[in-house]
Chains A and B, each alone.
Chain A
Amino acid sequence: ETGVTQTPRHLVMGMTNKKSLKCEQHLGHNAMYWYKQSAKKPLELMFVYNFKEQTENNSVPSRFSPECPNSSHLFLHLHTLQPEDSALYLCASSQDWGGLSYGYTFGSGTRLTVV
């Protein structure tokens, strides 16, 4: 149990579907992140929330829409995705800004397949 829980673990969706990924952290951290891991590519930062406020959006297409209702929960809403969006989506949290002191705590990820 990592303290960061992601659901669902696996998701297959059509290009016209709307779905949401959920992340929950039980560590009392104040920052949460969405990362994307595609095959043979480094982890790519998508969004950063610090104290529920979005502070980073790394030029992510609008078909990905994050939501952070409180410091413990983070959602990634998906709509009209493309097959190239298929990847492992990882949620992470940290105590310090940027996680410099303790590193990030990652969830197990959601394996997304867009058909």
Chain B
Amino acid sequence: DQQVKQNSPSLSVQEGRISILNCDYTNSMFDYFLWYKKYPAEGPTFLISISSIKDKNEDGRFTVFLNKSAKHLSLHIVPSQPGDSAVYFCAASARAGANNLFFGTGTRLTVIP
């Protein structure tokens, strides 16, 4: 029973345009959310996070939006670059059980030059 879902296994975007990656969760106890990026033959690397007390967090070209009522978060990449091509994982955690991050299945982003 997946508590974090990424329903789009892949996404293709033209270079310079916006990439929007979506993530849904079912556990209302989740209050901290993270995005990880994974290149082939490498482990996931931490990208950006957001606490449930916020609805937006921005870091350079990357912005994460959180809609608690919809149990939905999204990662926006603007402008998209070919080097952004990777698999993006959404993860969530509840402070009560903070020793476990629940991951989605990932979305493969391809940025076309």
A90 touches B43 (CB 8 A): yes
Q: Say yes or no: A40-B105 contact (C-beta < 8 A), given A50-B99, A108-B41.
A: yes
Q: Say yes or no: A106-B100 contact (C-beta < 8 A), given A41-B105, A42-B2, A42-B4.
A: no
A97 to B36, CA, bound (A): 18
A/B pair count, beta carbons within 8 Å: 66
Contacts of B88 in A (CB 8 A): none
Q: Say yes or no: A106-B43 contact (C-beta < 8 A), given A98-B93, A100-B95.
A: yes
A4 to B44, CA, bound (A): 11
Most A CB within 10 A of own CB, among B100, B101, B102, B103: B101
Which size bracket describes the interface of B in this complex? 20 to 34
Interface string of B27-60 (1 = CB under 8 A from A): 0000010101000011111100100000000000
Q: Within residues 81 to 115 of chain A, which ones have a CB less than 8 A from any CB in chain B?
A: 90, 92, 97-100, 102-109
A97 touches B102 (CB 8 A): no
Listed by A's residue number, 14 A-B pairs whose Cβ atoms lie within 8 Å are A4-B43, A6-B43, A31-B99, A42-B102, A42-B105, A42-B106, A43-B103, A45-B101, A97-B98, A98-B93, A100-B32, A102-B46, A103-B49, A104-B46
The 7 closest A-B pairs by CB, nearest first: A106-B43, A98-B98, A103-B46, A43-B103, A42-B103, A106-B44, A108-B43
